[in-house]
């Protein structure tokens, strides 16, 4: 056995498992041993009891429209303005430009310990396949560090946009891994939802909607998505992003919807940075937070993730692609304070999003790809509460990044 091991990570604490430390043996890009005091002559890296995760999982990011803040103006900070500013900037995108910006963002995500991502890619008659072609190339070029899943979607609507349907179909034949929808921008939202389900059925694809992106709880497209998911038997294959309306309902109403989401198998991605930035702009004081309580939905059995969404554009003029930061931001905004509850948020950027994306080989377990990220902390709660730095990461056993700890220059020799 020991001769098949290329590298041993000694004294690792595997997130989500018992507190004892173990050694992890990596061979031919896979995890081939997990045990205390592994007898082996392979090269060793000692982790001194630090926490390891199988990399962070980003379920919702827009690489194709990241890093355009210098081309846009933010005056009101509303969703409508973000939409119009980004749509205008998009008219000037070229494939090379998209590739360059998306690589910059993806490199940031990799250096923050993210090993798997679902990126939404816009497909419509204006942008054509410029985004899809750039991101397909990126997926190939960065396969050494991250698994990229491409979700083709009509950001500017579908039934209101002649020619878009044909392009989406072509995208599904040429590199899209799943299909997305955005019913709130369509002239016929229910028709939009029905058409996306029909395309998903035709190509046997998972679905990821942008949905219910305001704070008016008097109506929701979510009910129609639940109905269609049930009708088509697509439970476990449908996710919705934002769903900020769920932040505007009381505990009882939330529990009822949560039970339905869990029963039908529709997952929810919460996007704290974007939702905080864009929601509640009609208030000038006591501004609502507008962030859906993912941890409360998760407590009802709903598969939930916390995600980055946009980076340096009018939807979110911030971002370093750190999912640890997103979990920490969420904890603050959602009043998560007990140590065990803070610790549980680590699941919302690791195992839960892996479940949302139906990743069968995710996790630090024998036989899985050696995707391992070492955090500069020893507990799950500290990872989130203290924004623990990802110190080094491996993808399929190969070192992909290192982030050395700061060196303090003490005044006296110690």
Stretch that binds Zn ion, among 46-54, 179-187, 218-226, 304-312 (CB under 5 A): 304-312
Q: Which is nearer to Zn ion, 240 or 384 (CB)?
A: 240
Instruction: Name the residue nearer to Zn ion (CB basis): 309 or 322.
Output: 309
Residue 136 vs 210, nearer CB to Zn ion: 210
Sign of CA dihedral 274, 249, 349, 378: positive
Q: How far apart are CA 305 and CA 352, in angstroms?
A: 6
Spacing of C-alpha 367 from chain mean position: 24
The least distance separating Zn ion from the CB of residue 330, rounded to whole angstroms, comes to: 16
Tell me how far, at minimum, the Cβ of 262 lies from Zn ion, in Å. Answer: 23
Rounded Cα gap, residues 313 and 85, in angstroms? 9
Of 108, 247, 269, 309, the one binding Zn ion (CB under 5 A) is: 309
By CB under 5 A, tell whether 59 contacts Zn ion: no
Please, what is the minimum distance in Å from the beta carbon of residue 230 to Zn ion? 24
Tell me which stretch binds Zn ion (CB under 5 A): 243-251, 292-300, 307-315, 324-332.
Answer: 307-315
Asked if 38 and 75 touch (Cβ cutoff 8 Å), the reply is: no
Which residues are bridge partners to 208 per DSSP?
180, 239
Is 66 among the residues that bind Zn ion (CB under 5 A)? no
Residue 305 touching Zn ion (CB under 5 A): no
Looking at 74-82, 305-313, 377-385, 397-405, which segment touches Zn ion (CB under 5 A)?
305-313
Smallest gap from residue 35 Cβ to Zn ion (A): 42
Q: Shortest distance, CB of residue 233 to Zn ion, whole angstroms?
A: 26
Smallest gap from residue 115 Cβ to Zn ion (A): 20
Pairing of strands 390-395, 372-375: antiparallel
Report residue 228: phi and psi, to 5°.
-70, -35
Q: What is the dihedral of CA 17, 18, 19, 22, to 10 degrees?
A: -80
Site stretch for Zn ion (CB under 5 A), options 136-144, 302-310, 340-348, 353-361: 302-310
- Judged by CB under 5 A, the stretch of 143-151, 306-314, 351-359, 405-413 that binds Zn ion is 306-314
State in angstroms the smallest separation of the CB of 155 from Zn ion: 8
Q: Are 334 and 355 in contact (CB under 8 A)?
A: no
* Residue 105 lies near Zn ion (rule: CB under 5 A): no
Stretch that binds Zn ion, among 41-49, 100-108, 243-251, 301-309 (CB under 5 A): 301-309
| Cα radius of gyration (the chain) | 21
Task: Report the residue number, 53 or 225, with the smaller CB distance to Zn ion.
Answer: 225
State the minimum distance, in angstroms, from the CB of residue 60 to Zn ion.
6
The phi-psi region of residue 106 (left if phi > 0; otherwise alpha if psi is between -120 and 50; otherwise beta) is alpha
CB of 244 to Zn ion, least distance (A): 12
Compute how many residues bind Zn ion; rule: CB under 5 A. Answer: 1
Rank residues 321 and 377 by Cβ distance to Zn ion and give the closer one: 321
- 3-class DSSP state of 25: strand
Task: From residue 95, give the alpha-carbon distance in Å to each of 85, 101, 189, 315, 318.
Answer: 19, 10, 30, 21, 23
Cα separation, 395 vs 371, in Å, equals: 4
Name the β-bridge partners of 22. Answer: 12
Kindly list the residues in this chain that would bind Zn ion in the complex (CB under 5 A). 309
């Amino acid at each position: 056995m020991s001769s098949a091991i290329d590298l041993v990570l000694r004294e690792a604490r595997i997130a989500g498992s018992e507190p004892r430390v173990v050694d992890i043996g990596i061979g031919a890009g896979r995890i081939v041993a997990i045990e205390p005091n592994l007898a082996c002559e392979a090269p060793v890296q000692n982790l001194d009891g630090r926490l390891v995760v199988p990399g962070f999982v980003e379920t919702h990011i827009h690489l194709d429209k990241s890093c355009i803040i210098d081309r846009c103006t933010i005056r009101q900070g509303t969703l409508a303005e973000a939409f119009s500013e980004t749509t205008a900037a998009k008219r000037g995108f070229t494939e090379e430009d998209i590739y360059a910006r998306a690589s910059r963002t993806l490199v940031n995500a990799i250096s923050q310990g993210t090993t798997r991502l679902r990126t939404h890619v816009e497909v419509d008659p204006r942008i054509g396949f410029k985004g899809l072609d750039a991101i397909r190339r990126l997926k190939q070029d960065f396969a050494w560090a991250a698994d990229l899943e491409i979700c083709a979607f009509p950001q500017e609507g579908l039934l209101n946009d002649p020619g878009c349907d044909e392009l989406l179909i072509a995208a599904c034949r040429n590199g899209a891994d799943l299909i997305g929808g955005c019913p709130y921008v369509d002239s016929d939202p229910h028709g939009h939802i029905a058409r996306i389900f029909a395309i998903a059925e035709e190509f046997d694809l998972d679905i990821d909607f942008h949905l219910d992106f305001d704070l008016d709880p008097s109506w929701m497209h979510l009910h129609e998505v639940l109905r269609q998911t049930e009708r088509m038997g697509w439970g476990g294959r449908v996710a919705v992003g934002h769903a900020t309306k769920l932040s505007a309902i009381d505990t009882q109403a939330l529990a009822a919807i949560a039970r339905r989401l869990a029963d039908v198998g529709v997952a929810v991605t919460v996007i704290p940075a974007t939702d905080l930035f864009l929601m509640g702009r009609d208030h000038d004081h006591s501004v609502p937070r507008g962030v859906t309580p993912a941890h409360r939905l998760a407590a009802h059995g709903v598969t939930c993730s916390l995600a980055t969404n946009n980076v340096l554009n009018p939807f979110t003029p911030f971002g370093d692609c750190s999912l640890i930061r997103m979990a920490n931001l969420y904890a603050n905004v959602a009043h998560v304070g007990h140590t065990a509850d803070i610790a549980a948020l680590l699941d919302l950027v690791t195992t839960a999003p892996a479940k949302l994306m139906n990743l069968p080989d995710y996790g630090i377990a024998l036989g899985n790809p050696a995707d391992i990220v070492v955090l500069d902390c020893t507990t799950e709660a500290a990872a989130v509460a203290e924004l623990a730095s990802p110190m080094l990461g491996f993808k399929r056993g190969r070192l992909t990044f290192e982030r050395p700890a700061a060196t303090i220059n003490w005044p006296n020799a110690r």
